[in-house]
Amino acid sequence: MKKSFEISSGLKGAVLAVGLVLGCSHAYAQGVQTGPAVKVIAAGKKSVANINDIDGVVEAVMQSTLSSQIAGRVLSLNVKAGDRVKAGQVLATIDDRETQTGVLRSQAQLQQSDAELRQLQIALKRTQDLKTQGFVSSAALDLAEAQYKAAKAGRDSAGAATDQAKVTQSFSKVTAPYDAWVLETSAQAGDLALPGKPLMTVYAPQPLRVVMQWPASEKNNLPKLQDIQIQMGAEAIKPVAMQVMPNADGVSQTIGIKLDLPRTGVALQAAPGMQVRVRTAGTSQAKGLVPASAILRRGEITAVYVAQENGFAMKLVRIGADHGSAGVEIWAGLKEGELIAVDAIQAGMKGAHVAR
């Protein structure tokens, strides 16, 4: 009885082992068969327009750097970066004691000229009366008239000097030239303000434009307005106008192109200094393209999955410009006619196979 029990136990162990092997084999077969079925396409060329992606910078069409027109200490700076200001609003005040002294001096000279003019006017009237009565000569009358005219000219000059002094005094208040936003400030209270030394920069929120630099060597291939798109976030914007600078920059060897933004949609959210991508389309050319979903990106590595007899093999590629729905350029690593997985994520899964 004991021996029979031992044989039965061994038989059961063998049966269990065989079952495990068969089960594993069946599971493996199922894993291969039940992996994702991935669609493939043949690598080939398509006719697409040449795409150029160039960096651009948003700037305000109306932007002004404000500075004092007189020398003096900054008494107060009434705004900071990001503030909204109205036309004529006082943004900064400059010490005006010197200009105020000039106004007082010119007003005193004006009063003196007025007094001299009144005195000579009376003298001229008296001389005219005496000439009528024959008591003075014509030469005396001519002299009185000349003195009066000189005094009148002096009075006009003093009046103009007074007006000029008042205008100069008004320069002690730096005001906003138009409704604007303050982009940045370059001074603070106590600084010495000088003519031409920036105090702050303001800009009108609308309209805005994008400035890009085009290679001077491609001057004969300048893009057309209808072939330009400005990538701002996830949206593409069409510029409404384009201006090409007449001369190339001698250092960078580029030509400036200004693109006016529309006053609608996401363009209203732009701000001066924002970096954008400007995409231009040129003449059509046959290029090797694959769908964007077929490209696997892992850090600095880009690859596609090429169909094999038993699944897919990863193949490194070098990619170029993204042509949107047309696909992404493949510059190297892929031969024409090779079958690649449309979905790189699924192709990388265990048991992935070509969809039949």
- What is the reported pLDDT for 33? 53
Tell me: the pLDDT tens digits for 149-184? 998 999 999 889 888 888 888 888 899 999 999 999
Which of 234-248, 249-263, 318-332 comes out lowest in average pLDDT? 318-332
Instruction: Compute CA 231 distance to the chain's CA centroid, rounded to the nearest angstrom.
Output: 12
Tell me: the pLDDT tens digits for 24-57? 333 334 444 568 888 999 988 887 767 778 889 9
Rounded-to-integer distance, Cα 140 and Cα 142, Å: 5
- Total-model pTM: 0.54
For residue 151, the SS3 value is: helix
- What is the reported pLDDT for 249? 85
Tell me: the pLDDT tens digits for 273-329? 889 989 887 666 777 889 999 999 988 889 999 998 888 999 999 888 787 778 888
pLDDT at 70 over 70: yes
pLDDT band at 253 (very low <50, low <70, confident <90, very high): confident
- What average pLDDT does range 64-81 have in this prediction? 90
Nearest to 213 by CA among 255, 247, 261, 242: 255
CATH code for the part of the protein at 37-48+287-354: 2.40.420.20
Tell me: the pLDDT tens digits for 95-146? 888 778 888 888 899 899 999 999 999 988 998 888 888 888 889 889 988 9
Tell me: the pLDDT tens digits for 193-209? 899 899 999 999 889 99
For residue 350, the SS3 value is: coil
Q: How far is CA 289 from CA 79, 306, 347, in A?
A: 54, 15, 19
**Edge-to-edge order in the sheet of strand 173-175:** 173-175, 90-94, 72-77, 192-193
Q: Under CATH, to which class is 53-61+203-284 assigned?
A: mainly beta
Nearby residues of 71 by Cβ (< 8 Å), 6 or more positions away: 192, 193, 194, 195
Where do the domains of the chain lie?
Answer: 37-48+287-354, 53-61+203-284, 64-95+172-202, 96-171
* Token digits of residue 319: 């990619």
pLDDT at 2 over 60: no
Q: Tell me: domain 64-95+172-202, CATH 2.40.50.100, correct?
A: yes
Rounded-to-integer distance, Cα 165 and Cα 102, Å: 6
Query: The CATH number of 96-171 is which of 1.10.3470, 3.40.50, 1.10.357, 1.10.287?
Result: 1.10.287
